[in-house]
A and B are shown apart, each in its own frame.
Chain A
Amino acid sequence: MMNPLKIAKQDARLYMSFMYVTFASLLVGGLMGLLQTLARSGKFTLPFNINYYTILTVHGVILGLVLTTFFIIGFQFALMGKTVGISDKQRKAGWWAFWLMLVGTVMAAVTILVGQANVLYTFYAPLRAHPAFYIGLALVIVGSWVAVFTNFRQLYVWKKANKGQKSPLLAFMVVINMAMWFIASLGVAASVLIQFIPWSLGYAETINVLLSRTLFWYFGHPLVYFWLLPAYMAWYAIIPKIIGGKLFSDSLARMSFILLLMFSIPVGFHHQLTEPGIDPTWKFIQVVLTFMVVIPTLMTAFSIFATFETTGRRLGHKGLFGWFKHLPWKDVRFLAPFIGMVAFIPGGAGGIVNASHQMNSLIHNTIWVTGHFHLTVATTVILTYFGIAYWLVPHLTGRRLTPRLNKLGIIQSIIWTVGMTIMSTAMHIEGLLGGPRRSNFSTYAGGDQVQSWIGYQMAQAVGGTILFIGIVLMVYIFIQLAFFAPRGVEEFPIAEEEVDAEPTPKLLENWYLWIGITIALILFAYTIPVFDILKHSPPGSVPFDWPIGRY
């Protein structure tokens, strides 16, 4: 493997810009989350007549779309810069990506805050937001595409300069994630540009609702894998270094990323299982494909435990679980991602339930789903991102993660764990009892059933309050690492291969093959059902403004 490069000052500035937006988003979005749980407890009303659905839209858009995308693109740029390098031109492109995304974010955020886009982050037609909302989102996507092609170019240039060598593992993983993101975001981009923007401006009278939903979910599922893959990058290729070990297997890591690329896109129907206009056989086919995407995660689970065990045994820890006891529990760069891994056990198991075809009606659109993705994205993914930030931010700013900040990080991780355990468990149970998601406090028709939901909503408010304390602490740690921690050198940990590692098969870098299979699977899973949707489409829907409080 090549020696990692040094990150220059002006490159660090680019990567850090993405981090500033990430942590600003965390604070804003987290505050909204707190307000949601308080409002839903029924004990508080929102101040200044703020609409519940305005803050919920801010929360979903800022945390689900903005925080994640900015962190991922910043982190992936840093990985590419470290492993394959970045040229002046590529850095300039990186700034274009940043500014396009930021302008888009501000446009969408302002539109939401002035109450012109109470449509939630899924913006389902025929609710119509102000056109600026859709245009803002389109800019975020286009900006991300600039990053996509810059990353492709970075690896391409490196490959030409290093003929015959296999690409660095992390660069390979970044390119996989970006390829998936690009192919997936074409769907939502088509929907926004061709369907929503002309319709919201009044140029198109009606919109095909089912088609827009299908395009959204064609994008929506890979979106969650776009969040997850950077966490997997850290688990496979960074955590082993932090615990003092080596890569478990370069080939297996690449293989699992390839499987994730192939199977995370043709599965969007598992979000549409209870919809009336899609043939159930095609729903089932996509359910089968969804189950396939579990396989690389099973591989990942094994690989993680195996890395821990091999490392521990090599360091001389004996017994069946001696290796486990001696993991570096006091190092937050390890602890935070580790908690993330643990959260993925109930998160993943719940995900299999969600995707289980007819069983989906047990939980569809109940608050169970919210509990599920606060485990997966808001714990597994976010705590791993925090775990990365603890070393990446000081590495980029030329500072150090001091023992005090490390300790605060450990406290932060524990606060998050406690808060999320309370909030997410309460959401899961309330969901199984039928309590709906995306809903302000309501006593509905009253009765025992509703009363039981409200009890769990109180618990969510307790969990949410604890979580918000965790967010404030995390933002404090970030500010310290970015501006105030003592100067020094913080390591950029990248795991190496074993000296006698098995060579990686060349086939794994055959991009034409893997992208070809990916596209073939998408065509297989979507061509006929989309054709059916178009053929059996009802009269289109005119826009509706008043239900979201626009006049």
Chain B
Amino acid sequence: MAKSTKQQLEPQHNPSINLKGTLIAVMLLGVFILATWFGCYYLFLSR
């Protein structure tokens, strides 16, 4: 995505905010999706 040319300085808050909890939460979500999908795929193959 093209960066806006008007932008002079990186916003201060954005890169520095602590989002560790968020990362863990979404990763748990990702693991849940993988588990569901592979579980169903296993069932599909066994039938």
Q: Which residues of A contact B (CB under 8 A)?
A: 249, 255, 298, 301-302, 305-306, 308-310, 313, 320-321, 323-324, 345-346, 348-350, 352-353, 356, 358-359, 361-363, 432, 498, 500-507
Closest CB in chain B relative to A51 CB, distance in Å: 34
Please determine whether B7 and A503 come into contact, CB atoms closer than 8 angstroms: yes
Question: Which residues from B are CB-within-8-Å of A321?
Answer: 21
Assembled-state Cα–Cα distance A187/B47 (Å): 37
Please determine whether A323 and B21 come into contact, CB atoms closer than 8 angstroms: yes
Please determine whether B22 and A306 come into contact, CB atoms closer than 8 angstroms: yes
Residues of B8-47 whose CB lies within 8 A of A: 10-14, 17-22, 24-26, 29, 32-33, 36-37, 40-41, 43-44, 47
- Of B10, B12, B13, B26, which one neighbours A301 at CB under 8 angstroms? B26
Q: What are 13 A-B pairs with beta-carbon distances under 8 A?
A: A249-B14, A255-B1, A301-B26, A305-B21, A306-B22, A323-B21, A348-B33, A352-B37, A356-B41, A362-B40, A500-B13, A503-B4, A507-B1
Please determine whether A498 and B26 come into contact, CB atoms closer than 8 angstroms: no
Question: Which residues from A are CB-within-8-Å of B14?
Answer: 249, 502
- Of B7, B21, B36, B44, which one neighbours A502 at CB under 8 angstroms? B7
Question: Which residues from A are CB-within-8-Å of B37?
Answer: 349, 352-353, 356
Please determine whether A313 and B18 come into contact, CB atoms closer than 8 angstroms: yes
Assembled-state Cα–Cα distance A499/B37 (Å): 42
Closest CB in chain B relative to A532 CB, distance in Å: 28
Count of B interface residues, CB-CB < 8 Å: 30
Nearest-neighbor residue (CB-CB) of B47 within chain A: A362
Please determine whether B17 and A310 come into contact, CB atoms closer than 8 angstroms: yes
Nearest-neighbor residue (CB-CB) of B14 within chain A: A502
Please determine whether B26 and A500 come into contact, CB atoms closer than 8 angstroms: no
Question: Which residues from A are CB-within-8-Å of B1?
Answer: 255, 505, 507
Question: Which residues from B are CB-within-8-Å of A324?
Answer: 21
Please determine whether A309 and B21 come into contact, CB atoms closer than 8 angstroms: yes
Please determine whether B32 and A305 come into contact, CB atoms closer than 8 angstroms: no
Residue among B2, B3, B24, B40 with the highest chain A CB neighbour number at 10 A: B40
Q: A359-B40, A503-B4 are contacts. A305–B26 as well, Cβ < 8 Å?
A: yes
Q: A349-B32, A359-B40 are contacts. A502–B18 as well, Cβ < 8 Å?
A: no
Q: A345-B29, A359-B41, A362-B43 are contacts. A320–B7 as well, Cβ < 8 Å?
A: no
Assembled-state Cα–Cα distance A361/B43 (Å): 11
Please determine whether B19 and A306 come into contact, CB atoms closer than 8 angstroms: yes
Please determine whether B22 and A313 come into contact, CB atoms closer than 8 angstroms: no
Closest CB in chain A relative to B29 CB, distance in Å: 6
- Of B12, B22, B36, which one neighbours A500 at CB under 8 angstroms? B12
Known: A309-B21, A323-B21, A502-B4. 14 other contacts (CB 8 A): A302-B22, A305-B26, A309-B17, A310-B19, A345-B29, A345-B32, A350-B36, A356-B40, A359-B40, A359-B41, A432-B43, A502-B10, A505-B1, A505-B3
Question: Which residues from A are CB-within-8-Å of B17?
Answer: 309-310, 313
Please determine whether A349 and B4 come into contact, CB atoms closer than 8 angstroms: no
Assembled-state Cα–Cα distance A255/B1 (Å): 10
Please determine whether A302 and B33 come into contact, CB atoms closer than 8 angstroms: no
Q: A362-B44, A503-B6 are contacts. A320–B32 as well, Cβ < 8 Å?
A: no
Assembled-state Cα–Cα distance A432/B43 (Å): 9
Assembled-state Cα–Cα distance A362/B46 (Å): 11
Q: A306-B19, A313-B18, A506-B4 are contacts. A320–B33 as well, Cβ < 8 Å?
A: no
Question: Which residues from B are CB-within-8-Å of A507?
Answer: 1-2
Question: Which residues from A are CB-within-8-Å of B26?
Answer: 298, 301-302, 305
Assembled-state Cα–Cα distance A362/B36 (Å): 13
Closest CB in chain B relative to A240 CB, distance in Å: 14
Q: A500-B12, A506-B4 are contacts. A320–B41 as well, Cβ < 8 Å?
A: no
Question: Which residues from A are CB-within-8-Å of B44?
Answer: 358-359, 361-362
Assembled-state Cα–Cα distance A313/B20 (Å): 11
Assembled-state Cα–Cα distance A507/B5 (Å): 11
Closest CB in chain B relative to A502 CB, distance in Å: 5
